[in-house]
Structure 1
Amino acid sequence: MFQTFTLKDQELNDFPQRLEELLKRHKEAINTLAASESDGYEAVLKPMEDLDEERSLFFTPLSHLNSVLNSEATQKAYEASLPLLSRFHSEIAQNEALYTKLKRLQARTPEQRKVLENEIRDFRLSGAELPLDKKKELESIDLELSELSNRFSQNLLDATKAYELIIEDPEDVAGIPESDLAAARFEEDGKVQWRFTLQIPSYLAYMTYGPNRQLREELYRAYTTRAPENAQVIDRILELRQQKAKLLGFDNYAEYALQTRDARDEWEVTDFLEKLTELSLPQGRAELEELRRFARELDGIEDLASYDVAYYGEKLKKHLYDFDESETKPYLEQQAVLNGLLQIVSELFGMRFEAMEVPRWHPSVKAYDIYRAEELSGRIYFDLEARKEKRGGAWMHDWETRFIDSRGEDHLPSAFVVANFPPASEDQPSLLRHDDVVTLFHEMGHAIHHLFSRVPERSVSGINGVAWDVVEFPSQFLENFAYEAPILRRFARHYQTGEAMPEELLAKIKAAKNFQAALGMLRQLEFALFDFKLHQRLYQGDEVQELLDWVREKTALLKPPAYNRFQHGFAHIFAGGYAAGYYSYKWAEVLSADAFFACLDPEGNFDRKMAQGYYEHILSRGGSEEMSSLYQQWLGRKARLESLIRLYGME
């Protein structure tokens, strides 16, 4: 049965102490297993997987709470716990007796062989073959990197929470959708004012619809100059990563990172990104010139700037397609969208979702038990509304994992889907932009990859053991269907009248899907190239900005202002696990685009037979085999690069 989510104040106070006791017990148990006479997988690795799950069940609630309900207490407990975990993992990864034991183990099944192969590889990458003094050095590096990653994230969160743009003149909010205004409106001394912050829903609302160019730049400047103290954090992170790679025998951190990725080598990654850049530039230039011409004709703007792109882009999209994102919001009430998504997933994969009243960390959280063939098979939590104590963005986080433990007991999986959608107000429910719907589909794609696993070995079940550069495949795959009219018809109804979203509006969503697609592609390629190049040698101080400027010369057709310090907020690579791996989004998108077209029937619905094949070969298999092999088993071929070009309408 599932764990109950509870973490009270007193538990937070003594959490590090209890964690230390747990880790001490686990270390003793692992040492006993390493010293045992058995060379059987079930006698050694199965009990170790039991311990892995126990640690996850203990620590995940704190990690999760620190992200979604951040407080001084969660931050204190979290920061005190990180060194303990880092030290534990470093010690285990450098346990020579355990490494020797693993190399002698006998695996019976393909899943067990994959676990063993991954474990031995990870031991080598963790320094198991290093001399003692180098092991100690590596342990110290990993500990400091863990602390720096958390500091980067906390600096960013603090800076995001600290800024407010207060607007008093109604003219400066004219044209902003009412739902966004309602979230921003407040009264002080009997006077109505509007508060915009650097939280994504609020920030995007003004950058997309705010009519005052000066205020847009002020907000943009605040956003792109957040957390300047992260410059020093970045330098130290990069220095330590390079040291780590060298210690382990690699030329640079990028080469080290690729050992656990689908891509073969550095050249393959840079060649892939540069080819996509070349393919995107011609259409990107045309899109930017169209936007410049439109802004000039509409408002006499001769010097289109980065803080103008979203605003004039939205107006141009409305001009071309008579489509405004705000038009969709009355038809996309949060609960209705969620209900529709769950119904679609149920029909495609033979599942049923049942709402549950279980302990939650916030009143807005929703929980559902998942049934397959009327058998309980998982649980999912949705925490979808923005609040001050929650870090920005959207993500999926696994909690429990599906596997069979050493006693033969079948464990069921659970996961959290988190977003920062506009919260409900006294006047209206939470209404979503279509972009928010795409985000929800995306994170649900991650969730079902974890929750629908049928793999008995924990280390390769669900999202465990899946290579970084293909982990986005299932999420991108599902989000593609959020643009299809037959899918949207399931839930897109006016929150007041119940009227279905007009066919004309459904058509506009599809038509506008690839609006400025090349510019969007180039921006992602900018991030990916910057990240990968940054980890191919050691950059320090001004060199980091110089590299970013060099990449922008190749990818950014509209140069951002000189004050823009995007890297200080690039949490994906400095606090989120994507170092030398941001290219993964595009790498996986080739798979997702190809799979999307394989599963799309002529009417724009899922081909259910193909969807079942996707479930059997991709979702249910987790990380038990390389994704390229699973994909080959499903479709009998490799994914086609041309499918990504087709997806973006760049043929």
Structure 2
Amino acid sequence: MFPEFKSDNLSEKEKSIEAKMESNKKEVESLLKNSPLSFANFLKPYQTIHTELSDLSTELSHIHSVKNSEESQTIYTRVIPKLTEYYTDLGQNESVYNAFLEIQKSDKTLTKEQKKVLDNEIRDFRLSGVGLAQDKKDKLKDLRIRHSELTNQFSQNVLNATNSFEMILSEEDVKGMPEGELVAARTEDGKYKFTLQFPSYIAYMTYGPNREKRKELYKAYSTRAPENGKILEEILKIKKEEASLLDFKNYAELSLATKVADTPEQVLGFLRNLAAKAKPIAEKELKTLRDFAKERGQEEIESADLMFYSEQLKKETFDYEEEKYRPYLEKESVTKGTFRFLESLLGIQFQEVKTPVWHPSVLCYDLVIDKEVRSRLYLDLEARKDKKGGAWMHNWKPHFIDEKGKETLPIAFVIGNFPAATKDHPSLLKPNDVVTLFHELGHALHHLLSRVGEAFVSGVNGVEWDAVEFPSQFLENFAYEPKVLTLFAKHYQTGETIPQSFIDVMVNAKNFQSAMGVVRQLEFAIFDMLIHLDSPNEEGVQKILEQVRDEVSVIKPPSFNRFQNSFSHIFAGGYAAGYYSYKWAELLSANAYFSFVDKGVFDLKLAEHFRKTVLEKGGSENAMVLFRDFYGKDPEIEALLRLNGIAA
């Protein structure tokens, strides 16, 4: 029913990808000879062969992300330009484009899903330069190949810089830190090692007692990969040229052509409206923090102090200590309990299966609804040195029915970088780690529960980028629900359920400094949109960032901070001129979430309605149409403010 994932033989994967590209070219030429052309004899098999190519390239990119090695770097660097060239040539193929137009005009049997596939393909071909003069097509192809090389190098530079730094500390420098963090950092010779891997970095920035060491660690983290300054400059130049070739004023407008939002001005208006509501509250939050630090002898707090004093203030205000929760959030227990929650919320069951995996800590599950196996999920949650930082969902195979009537079931990977278990100590999570797990599982469910028959609009495929975060943000909100926490928060040694008093404190502390968090995200989103309205050089990018910070931020980082050099979301991911999507989708998710909360969380009728109107529909319809099908009206900003504890 499901293929095995093979993590070895990378050279064979490379050969398979190259062979598939060549066979696809021949197959497309053969399909074009069908007469008359129809969705059934052209677009069905066309989707199948390109889904097969996508599956192969996903296998390679996945291993490159979770089992990074010199071999994977070499092979991935060779393959990416070839794939980019293949898709650029395909997107500029006039014969294929004309076939789409012919089918759109003449095939009267199209379903709604099939019309969406056609509409998307025609739009994307136009955005790929079909119809351009040959010299412009060649130029666009060269730009996109170069862009793929640069984004890969940007990402690799960040990973290399992250892995190259370590700070060895003595007992004195870690005095008073939580035992769980010390266990993770302790070396064989009794010292303590902290790195720029996110769990390690956050641990010392939150609890590290030595201010100078915190500042050293912060500087190393915020100045990673300085060579990326010139790379992002070239990336922005390429994006501007690409937009110009396609008759867009700037890359921001090109980016929005595939999103729900209409114009950069609309996006910036939304972000700045939210900033106007959040910044005054964020300023009050910062004043409270400064006063707190001053009472403890720290006259002026800097960026390297924020997490440290915020944690202390949170502890004093709410009697909240994140470390107290970790014994109740053992990774395996959280995972199993989360599955029980999803069974109660959405009627899904998870059955663990034994199958080859790329690391011993990886787990695999089949998703079952009404006794029917619907999809497969791999979980790879622990941090490793050969693994890209952060957390993400990677879809391997979509649900679809091919031209022969064969059904393919979806498969996805959820990747995290939670503290690794040792032979003496399990992986104990923080509450924020649980939120991250819920978030990525939301992405996975959006893909894995799809019932769409067309591969190109199934699951997360074809979903507008500014709505793709909707299901993930919807699900992450439940990580703070008391009814949910009691399902999985059990002490790893005693099995005791987390005390109600702990839950009350965590819920009360949920929106601690939430306005500061909101303006931080708005800083990223406005910066992202503004730099894509033009193509500033390295210095110009920094200037824009400083201007945005003047507008919406409440604390200025030190002048050496170059966070943009590791801003992989927009320079090595899919969020260029689209980082606002997190807040845009959060607006949808907040409205959907409170519709559940206001009915007591577990409401099977509402859950089935959500599953069928949103999760099962994937990208087969405009995301706002699907949202309205579920919610009955447009989203309201009051729900977003309520979610963040910000008064309207």
TM-score (norm 2): 0.98
Which residue does 2:178 correspond to in 1? 177
Does 2:305 align with 1:308? yes
Does 2:195 align with 1:197? yes
CA deviations over 1:378-433 (Å, ceiling 9, x no partner): 00000000010001000000001100001001110000000000011122210000
Match of 1:639 among 615, 629, 635: 635
Within a 5 Å distance, the mapping from 1:224-303 to structure 2 comes to: 224-298=222-296, 300-303=297-300
Say whether the 8 Å CA contact 1:493–1:501 is kept in structure 2.
yes
Which residue does 1:552 correspond to in 2? 549
How many pairs are equivalent?
643
RMSD (CA atoms): 1.0
Which residue does 1:413 correspond to in 2? 410
CA deviations over 1:115-173 (Å, ceiling 9, x no partner): 000000000000001011100100000100001000000000000000001002x1211
- Where in structure 1 are there 5+ consecutive unaligned residues? none
Following the alignment from structure 1 to structure 2, what is the Cα–Cα distance between the partners of residues 606 and 279?
A: 32
Following TM superposition, the consecutive aligned residue runs of length 4 or more in structure 1 with deviations greater than 4 angstroms are none
Q: How far 1:602 moved relative to its partner?
A: 5.5
1:256 is matched by which residue type in structure 2? Answer: L
Does 2:185 align with 1:187? no
Which residue does 2:128 correspond to in 1? 126
CA deviations over 1:294-332 (Å, ceiling 9, x no partner): 00102x111110010000000000000000111100000
Which residue does 2:348 correspond to in 1? 351
Within a 5 Å distance, the mapping from 1:40-59 to structure 2 comes to: 40-59=38-57
Within a 5 Å distance, the mapping from 1:334-345 to structure 2 comes to: 334-345=331-342
Does 2:454 align with 1:454? no
Which residue does 1:110 correspond to in 2? 112
1:386 is matched by which residue type in structure 2? Answer: A
Does 2:482 align with 1:485? yes
Does 2:31 align with 1:30? no
Which residue does 1:375 correspond to in 2? 372
Say whether the 8 Å CA contact 1:35–1:97 is kept in structure 2.
no
1:429 is matched by which residue type in structure 2? Answer: P
Which residue does 2:82 correspond to in 1? 84
Q: Equivalent residue of 1:621, what SS?
A: coil
Following the alignment from structure 1 to structure 2, what is the Cα–Cα distance between the partners of residues 309 and 609?
A: 44
Following the alignment from structure 2 to structure 1, what is the Cα–Cα distance between the partners of residues 553 and 91?
A: 42
CA deviations over 1:439-486 (Å, ceiling 9, x no partner): 000000000000000011111100000000010000000000100111
Which residue does 2:147 correspond to in 1? 145
1:162 is matched by which residue type in structure 2? Answer: S
Say whether the 8 Å CA contact 1:552–1:559 is kept in structure 2.
yes
**Could you tell which deviates more after superposition, 53-62 or 489-498?**
53-62
1:62 is matched by which residue type in structure 2? Answer: L
Following the alignment from structure 1 to structure 2, what is the Cα–Cα distance between the partners of residues 416 and 12?
A: 19
Match of 1:648 among 606, 629, 644: 644
Q: How far 1:14 moved relative to its partner?
A: 4.5
1:619 is matched by which residue type in structure 2? Answer: L
Q: Equivalent residue of 1:470, what SS?
A: coil
Does 2:547 align with 1:568? no
Does 2:433 align with 1:436? yes
Q: Equivalent residue of 1:307, what SS?
A: helix
Say whether the 8 Å CA contact 2:344–2:602 is kept in structure 1.
no
Q: How far 1:499 moved relative to its partner?
A: 1.0
Match of 1:540 among 530, 533, 537: 537
Q: Equivalent residue of 2:384, what SS?
A: coil
Following the alignment from structure 2 to structure 1, what is the Cα–Cα distance between the partners of residues 383 and 407?
A: 35
Does 2:406 align with 1:404? no
Within a 5 Å distance, the mapping from 1:320-331 to structure 2 comes to: 320-331=317-328
Say whether the 8 Å CA contact 1:601–1:607 is kept in structure 2.
no
Say whether the 8 Å CA contact 1:83–1:146 is kept in structure 2.
yes
Q: How far 1:634 moved relative to its partner?
A: 1.5
Following the alignment from structure 1 to structure 2, what is the Cα–Cα distance between the partners of residues 54 and 14?
A: 15
Which residue does 1:512 correspond to in 2? 509
Q: Percent identity?
A: 48
Q: How far 1:56 moved relative to its partner?
A: 2.1
Following the alignment from structure 1 to structure 2, what is the Cα–Cα distance between the partners of residues 648 and 58?
A: 41
1:641 is matched by which residue type in structure 2? Answer: I
Following the alignment from structure 2 to structure 1, what is the Cα–Cα distance between the partners of residues 122 and 222?
A: 42
Following the alignment from structure 1 to structure 2, what is the Cα–Cα distance between the partners of residues 71 and 88?
A: 25
1:390 is matched by which residue type in structure 2? Answer: K
1:257 is matched by which residue type in structure 2? Answer: S
Which residue does 1:164 correspond to in 2? 166
Q: How far 1:375 moved relative to its partner?
A: 1.2
1:271 is matched by which residue type in structure 2? Answer: G
Say whether the 8 Å CA contact 1:182–1:425 is kept in structure 2.
no
Following the alignment from structure 2 to structure 1, what is the Cα–Cα distance between the partners of residues 274 and 557?
A: 21
Does 2:613 align with 1:611? no
Following the alignment from structure 2 to structure 1, what is the Cα–Cα distance between the partners of residues 480 and 348?
A: 22
Q: Equivalent residue of 1:418, what SS?
A: strand
2:195 is matched by which residue type in structure 1? Answer: T
